Amino acid sequence: MKFRTEIYFPHRHVEMVASCNGSILLLNYVSHYKNLIIIMCNPLRARHLILPVPPKLALRTHHFAGLGFVHSSSTNKYKVLICTCTRTHNPARLYCDTYTIGIDDEWRSIGDTGKPPSVFASQFVFLNGALHWIGFENLWVICYFNIEKEQCGSFPFPSHFQEGNSCHGVVDNWLYIHHEHVYCVWKFWVMKDYGDFGSWTLEWVIETPITREFARPVKLLKMLKDGTLFMMLKKFTKVSKRSPGNINMTLASYNLQKRVLKTIEFSGMLPMGHSLIHAPFFFSPMDSLQ
């Protein structure tokens, strides 16, 4: 499907970072998030809104760390959260600013959040009224920002979680952590009861043939009705005998009962690490501006 949004992008890089109730949040920047422009767009209605430039991004002492876009069910308002890190402090300190669509004329600074964990992944995931990301406080933790209380906090990884490549996400209203400890063995830990740190459960283990075809999963996107996991993968492609090959993004499904992993053909390019589940919706947050 193609949509004409009539958005002019002055810079070369365009990145989709969040989706909420049919609207998406786009970043337009030169490189390394310089001259960052934040755009909210409803592609189904071809409407868009350019948000004010966050004040801290104008400072050379701060750099972009993460961006989240959420809907508050209690107030029926849409909020955008941006996190910036200081360049001058060691360890870096995290600052949060929020912008409520239709309410705020400019960004509201939540200030120095104390001693929060640094941002490990620029993509935030939303669950149970909070945005979540991976941070580090002497050890890896799940960080969160409560959108109603506008407070930061954190909770630990599973106690038996081993070191290795980790990523996180939400599937079927469960917060999960993916762990790759052994090559070609992918483990997914799920917090069955949100907020209960003792409810971390090893829910899925995917074992793949010993091959270089798949590098590792990047994100679970959805669990289908038949229990099939729909995910995004890094795929290794051999170009020639002399070339080391390339790692590209692809979509895949894994049947838990048959233990079969299949790639999914699609047309177009899949951005590195930025695929999102998007459900088109006619209502637009821009309607609250009228």
Q: Compute the distance between CA of residue 181 and CA of residue 165 in angstroms, rounded to an integer.
A: 7
What are the strands of the beta sheet with 165-171, ordered from one edge?
Answer: 165-171, 174-182, 185-191, 200-207
272 CB contacts (<8 Å, ≥6 apart)? 249
Residue 272 scores a pLDDT above 50: no
Full DSSP string of 41-100: EETTTTEEEEPPPPGGGGSTTEEEEEEEEEEETTTTEEEEEEEEEESSSSSPPEEEEEEE
The domain ranges of the chain are 1-156, 171-265
Q: pLDDT digit string (tens) for 11-60?
A: 888 888 888 888 888 888 887 777 888 998 888 777 888 999 888 777 77
Q: pLDDT above 70 covers what percent of the chain? A: 69
Per-residue pLDDT at 42: 84
Q: pLDDT digit string (tens) for 62-100?
A: 777 788 888 887 888 889 988 887 766 666 677 888 899
- CA quadruple 279, 272, 222, 82: dihedral, nearest 10: -60
Q: Compute the distance between CA of residue 61 and CA of residue 68 in angstroms, rounded to an integer.
A: 22
Average pLDDT rounded to a whole number, residues 261-276? 62
